[in-house]
Amino acid sequence: MGIDAAGARPGPAPPSPPQPASQRRLPVLGVASEMFPLLKTGGLADVVGALPAALAEHGVDLTTLLPGHPAVVAGLEGGQVRAQWPEWFGGPARVLSGRHRNAELLVLDAPHLYARHGNPYLDASGRDWSDNALRYAALALAAARIGWGEVDGLAPAVLHAHDWQAALVPVYQHYLGAGKRRAPTLLTLHNLAFQGQFGAAAWAQLRLPDAAFSTQGLEYHGDIGFLKGGLHFADAISTVSPSYAEEILTLAGGMGLDAMLRWRRERLHGIVNGLDTEAWDPAHDPALARTYDADTLERRAANRREIEACFGLPEAESPLLCMVSRLTTQKGIDLVAQALDAIVGAGARLVVLGAGEAAVESALQSAAARHPQRVAVRIGYDESLAHLLHGGADAILVPSRFEPCGLTQLSGQRYGCVPVVARVGGLADTVIDANHAAIAAGVATGVQFGELSAEGVLGAVQRTLRLHRDRAAWRSMQRAGMRADLGWRASAGLYAALYRQLAQETP
Ligand code: ADP
């Protein structure tokens, strides 16, 4: 049903008793730059893709506004033109409504801004598109206009903006929304490392008053800060785990925005991400050579054979570790490359799927070249192969230097692929370390380590290999992870409560 204000139902609605506000369905507009399965570069897309179904169960009708990238326009079912804007940031634009797999969508179809194939943010040479400020300002102002009721029939009660790409939504509301219908805004931070910072030269294109280019507005160290501005004006802010919500208040974790976040801390919430447990289900996963559940873990051996074949490794019984990740320093992949000789010396094998920073990729590849029988790296993005790795590897390494939430430690648990994680952010919140007490109680779901260094990674791998030799303890860890409540139900309830609180606060 989405955010349509006018009832689309044929004929008069049957009379129904007035419902208390807490039970009325709440129309919410999400605003994001990517959404699984249409377009994905990382966890943001997974979250945006999972929220509509998860929130529906909590009385929220979430419609998501996306930029009209080719994959998004192609995937839009039943598209209808809801608005036409002849001049929208340098060319014509339309707002289309439709759906994809039961998720209600609005698409900002503006070919001059979004009709570009491949990574949505980068050109073919891997550089940011030079007009990114304009592209995502256009998305945010479109969302603000929908919030103001300027697109017929659409009346969201709350606007939920994701990351810097949507962070100007509250900014436009503040500077251009006087006298208009007002929907409160929630800004969710999926990763503070990406802030949408642009040179002041882009200012004239943003359609904001000059007064907004100030420390009280968008000005950020002489540049334009999309996220900085959004944090200033959003009615509420959330991030994707309670621990990350604490970390970003500190100088070490705040990435230059800690003072701003401390100023807004009363309005900051940490809501941990869930996993899409339908998309990630080892009992019904077409990407696996063999499906399995917690009682048939021995069937994972067929998936391990398939991994070995895909990666050109000889068949072996020694423990197989995997990584599925952006290959970046944030993810601590360089630490794994440094520790790799010792990891192999300790008896482990490693397969890696990912892409990212050239220096990190080549450090990993040259380490792999030294151990062709035991280490293999696949540079690239491959959803099916990612699933297969979860279904056959013994453990998944997530040695991030910081991690707002992280998803592979959740999907790892769901697949009995034990996560070995740095004790930071959402990794600390979602993995129960295999200490003696947790093992004895049968609740351990993985291995955590504190020291963010090559030695720290090696120590964690050595501890993992010891645990792996204790078959009973290992099986218990796998099963505890597979039984864990990793889905969206609880967190979607928290989002729904926050939306209702915001809607009630706004007259
Ligand atoms: P990020 O910081 O990249 O968003 P997350 O752990 O939150 O990290 O989410 C990453 C998502 O992208 C997970 O669903 C993971 O399985 C997936 N992923 C990462 N790299 C690849 C890849 N090379 N191929 C397939 N899936 C990948």
Pocket probe mutation, ligand 1, options 325, 385, 390, 401, max atoms within 8 Å of Cβ: 325
Q: What are 137-150's pLDDT values in tens digits?
A: 999 999 999 999 99
CA distance 137 to 394: 44
CA distance 455 to 457: 5
CA nearest to 107, candidates 96, 118, 98, 99: 96
Q: What are 176-185's pLDDT values in tens digits?
A: 999 999 999 9
pLDDT at 14: 43
Average pLDDT over residues 162-187: 97
Residues with CB under 6 A from ligand 1: 42-43, 46, 191, 324-326, 353-355, 381-383, 386, 405-408
Question: Residue 13: which pLDDT band, with cuts at 50, 70 and 90?
Answer: very low
The three-state secondary structure class of 302 is: helix
Q: What are 188-241's pLDDT values in tens digits?
A: 999 999 999 999 999 999 999 999 999 999 999 999 999 999 999 999 999 999
pLDDT at 20: 54
Q: What are 334-387's pLDDT values in tens digits?
A: 999 999 999 999 999 999 999 999 999 999 999 899 999 999 999 999 999 999
Name the residue at shortest CA distance from atom 12 of ligand 1: 42
Q: Determine contact, residues 460/420, Cβ cutoff 8 Å.
A: yes
Q: How far is CA 69 from CA 33, 96, 104, 123, 132, in A?
A: 9, 13, 17, 13, 13
Q: What are 69-124's pLDDT values in tens digits?
A: 999 999 999 999 999 999 999 999 999 999 999 899 999 999 999 999 989 999 99
Question: Which range, of 8-12, 61-65, 137-141, 279-283, averages the lowest pLDDT?
Answer: 8-12
Residues, the chain: 507
| Helix ranges, 190-247 (H) | 226-233, 242-247
pLDDT higher than 50, residue 15? no
CA distance 185 to 430: 27
Pocket probe mutation, ligand 1, options 34, 351, 407, 486, max atoms within 8 Å of Cβ: 407
Q: How far is the CA of 331 from the centre of ligand 1 (A)?
A: 11
pLDDT higher than 90, residue 2? no
| Percent over 90 (pLDDT), the chain | 93
This prediction's pTM: 0.92
pLDDT higher than 50, residue 401? yes
Average pLDDT over residues 295-313: 98
pLDDT at 191: 94
Q: How far is the CA of 182 from the centre of ligand 1 (A)?
A: 35
Q: How far is the CA of 386 from the centre of ligand 1 (A)?
A: 9
